[in-house]
């Protein structure tokens, strides 16, 4: 058993987040002890590759490439598990909980896929799972929803939850750069994953939104029910055209209560340039959460990165020591037992839209598109057609930007399908809602 005054901990994974946790445990040891009432002492570190050099000093603890020694050590009551992937981490965390340890994870993919099952296991074993770092990194949005806003019925969440795609969108506009160049830069800066697909296609943001919405609305949202669109097809001209109209394009994650049904989506959206969410720049995250008592509360800060993410992980660790984690986790489990809300069929949601097509520059193309829209009851509020410089097959390619009045998503999708069959289309088209 641990000597009184020491709180031994384990760490599984020692990459970006893991080394950040080690760094904070070492550099802020006194402050943490003052707050926790015990000294947080790193006893075990588990990694995949024992030969890899780490940017932190692990000399004081047992380093292993297996969980066994950690599991076998009864003095360790809490383990930080910061490894990506789903199946491996799931099995690890099950073992850790079963061996009587509280777990802290930053893995949103895991929680989105298996959160319910892991929470239930923790409950049945009298253990806790902390996951503040899994959503919006250093921004304390999980504790805000679970503890600060307990007096509120949550009405809406509108957020920027993926730093990489926000970095790309801001940088393209600020520096007039094209998508591929900025994506490469994001990878070099360590914002984007080596395979950045889940960042830019909205998967990462949707996983985080699912976790948040479950807590805020007591409603499990199957991942595939989240209307989801990425930023891959947005080009610099789209950003400039939106800016001209007084908007910024942001990858918005939205969960909103509408007449007792829940609308959930992740999609690039035009938001007025003077709103604070529009001004979220670089790799930062932003969350506006509306409660029936508090009104709109806004939080902004670093949504990822080594130390900001580790800041959230270590706060969860302190909560384990003080006993707060147990209180919070019990409340969270009770919260999840509420009556779930039905999801709002996305086909019913009506919004203004930004449509952009690259089309063969020949007669009738605009008329063809306008006819399709008209047939589906979608009315056009403005049109802008510019000749683009490159011509692909001898005929010029024109760029067509159409803003519509409010139209239902179902009608828009039906129109999309017909437009996609027009042979005058050149390259990917894009459609984005305009936030009112």
Ligand X SMILES: NC(=O)c1ccc[n+]([C@@H]2O[C@H](COP(=O)([O-])OP(=O)(O)OC[C@H]3O[C@@H](n4cnc5c(N)ncnc54)[C@H](OP(=O)(O)O)[C@@H]3O)[C@@H](O)[C@H]2O)c1
Exposed (0-12), middle (13-18) or buried (19+): which is 360, by Cβ within 10 Å? Answer: middle
Residue with the two structure tokens 């403005």:
382
Of 106 and 401, nearer to ligand X (C-beta) is 106
Residues 387-406 that bind ligand X (CB under 6 A): none
Instruction: Give the binding range for a second copy (CB under 8 A) out of 23-31, 58-66, 187-195, 378-386.
Output: 23-31
Is 197 a binding residue for a second copy by CB under 8 A? The answer is no
Q: Which of residues 300-359 bind ligand X (CB under 6 A)?
A: 304-305, 309
Binding to ligand X by residue 14, rule CB under 6 A?
yes
Q: Does 82 bind ligand X (CB under 6 A)?
A: yes
DSSP 291: E
**Which of the residues 101, 208, 214, 250 is marked catalytic?**
208
**Is residue 9 within 8 Å of residue 79, measured between CB atoms?**
yes
Contact pattern for ligand X over residues 130 through 159, marking x by CB under 6 A = ---x---x----------------------
State the number of binding residues for a second copy (CB under 8 A): 59
CA distance 372 to 147: 49
Cβ atoms 77, 7 nearer than 8 A: yes
Residue 214 falls in the annotated catalytic set: no
Binding window for ligand X (CB under 6 A); candidates: 45-53, 96-104, 291-299, 314-322: 45-53
**Pairing mode, strands 102-105 and 78-81:** parallel
Alpha-carbon distance of 209 to 111, in angstroms, equals 11
The number of residues making up the chain comes to: 436
- Give the residue from 430, 366, 426 showing the smallest Cα distance to 396: 426
Q: Is 301 annotated as a binding residue?
A: no
Rounded-to-integer distance, Cα 67 and Cα 12, Å: 8
Whole-angstrom Cα distance, residue 134 to residue 107? Answer: 5
433 contacts which partner out of a second copy, ligand X, none, CB within 5 to 8 A by kind?
Answer: none
CB of 16 to ligand X, least distance (A): 3
For ligand X, the binding residues in 91-130 under the rule CB under 6 A are: 106-107
Task: Specify the stretch interacting with a second copy by CB under 8 A; choose among 145-153, 205-213, 381-389, 396-404.
Answer: 145-153
Task: Give the residue carrying structure tokens 């007792």.
Answer: 260
Nearer to ligand X, 104 or 278 (CB): 104
Interacting residues with a second copy between 37 and 56 (CB under 8 A): 37
Residue closest to 283 by CA, chosen among 196, 370, 156, 378: 196
**Cα separation of 273 and 307, whole Å?**
30
How is residue 203 written in tokens?
């998967």
CB nearer a second copy, residue 36 or residue 69: 36
- Report, in Å, the least distance between residue 287 CB and a second copy: 10
- Rounded to the nearest 10 degrees, the angle between the axes of helix 16-27 and helix 29-36 is 80
- E strand or H helix that includes residue 27: helix 16-27
Q: Minimal distance in Å, beta carbon 302 to ligand X?
A: 9
- What contacts 51, CB < 8 A, 6 or more positions away? none
Would you say 269 is a known binding-site residue? no
Nearest to 401 by CA among 243, 172, 238: 238
13 near ligand X, judged by CB under 6 A: yes
Q: Which of residues 266-325 bind a second copy (CB under 8 A)?
A: 274, 276, 279, 291-302, 305, 307-308, 310-315, 318-319, 322-324
What residues are annotated to the active site? 208
Q: What residue numbers does the annotated binding site for NADPH cover? A: 108
> Per the annotation, where are the binding residues for NADP(+)?
12-19
Footprint of a second copy on this chain (CB under 8 A)?
20, 24, 28, 31-32, 34-37, 132, 138-140, 143-144, 147-153, 274, 276, 279, 291-302, 305, 307-308, 310-315, 318-319, 322-324, 327-328, 330-331, 334-335, 337-338
Which residues of this chain interact with ligand X, rule CB under 6 A? 12-18, 46-49, 52, 82-84, 88, 106-107, 133, 137, 304-305, 309
């Amino acid at each position: 058993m641990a000597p009184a005054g020491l709180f031994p901990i384990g760490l599984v994974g020692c990459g970006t987040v893991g080394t950040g946790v080690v760094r904070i445990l070492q550099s802020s040891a006194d402050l943490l002890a003052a707050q926790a009432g015990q000294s947080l002492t790193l006893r075990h570190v588990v990694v995949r590759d024992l030969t890899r050099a780490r940017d932190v000093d692990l000399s004081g603890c047992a380093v292993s490439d297996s969980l066994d020694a950690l599991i076998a050590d009864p003095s360790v009551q809490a383990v930080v598990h910061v490894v990506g992937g789903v199946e491996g981490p799931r099995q690890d965390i099950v073992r850790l909980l079963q061996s009587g340890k509280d777990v802290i994870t930053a893995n949103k993919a895991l929680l989105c896929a298996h959160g319910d099952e892991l929470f239930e296991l923790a409950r049945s074993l009298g253990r806790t799972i902390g996951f503040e770092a899994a959503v919006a990194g250093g921004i304390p949005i999980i504790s805000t929803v679970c503890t600060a806003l307990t007096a509120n019925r949550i009405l809406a969440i509108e957020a920027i939850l993926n730093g990489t795609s926000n970095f790309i969108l801001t940088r393209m506009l600020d520096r007039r750069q094209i998508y591929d160049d900025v994506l490469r830069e994001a990878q070099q800066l360590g914002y984007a994953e080596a395979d950045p697909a889940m960042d830019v296609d909205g998967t990462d943001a949707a996983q985080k939104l699912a976790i948040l919405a479950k807590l805020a609305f007591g409603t499990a949202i199957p991942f595939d029910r989240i209307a989801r669109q990425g930023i891959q097809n947005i080009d610099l001209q789209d950003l400039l055209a939106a800016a001209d109209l007084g908007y910024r394009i942001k990858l918005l994650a939205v969960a909103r209560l509408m007449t007792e049904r829940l609308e959930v989506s992740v999609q690039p959206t035009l938001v007025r340039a003077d709103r604070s969410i529009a001004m979220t720049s670089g790799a930062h995250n932003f969350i506006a959460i509306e409660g029936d008592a508090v009104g709109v509360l806004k939080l902004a800060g670093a949504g990822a990165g080594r130390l900001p993410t580790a800041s959230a992980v270590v706060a969860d660790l302190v909560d384990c020591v003080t006993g707060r984690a147990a209180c919070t986790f019990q409340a969270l489990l009770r919260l999840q037992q509420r009556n779930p809300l039905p999801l709002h069929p996305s086909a019913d949601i009506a919004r203004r839209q930004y449509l952009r097509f690259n089309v063969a520059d020949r007669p009738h193309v605009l008329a063809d598109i306008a006819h399709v829209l008209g047939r589906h009851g979608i009315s056009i509020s403005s049109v802008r057609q510019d000749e683009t410089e490159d011509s692909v097959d001898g005929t010029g390619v024109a760029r067509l930007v159409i803003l519509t009045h409010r139209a239902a998503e179902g009608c828009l999708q039906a129109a999309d399908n017909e437009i996609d069959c027009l042979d005058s289309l050149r390259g990917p088209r894009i459609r984005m809602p305009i936030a009112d």
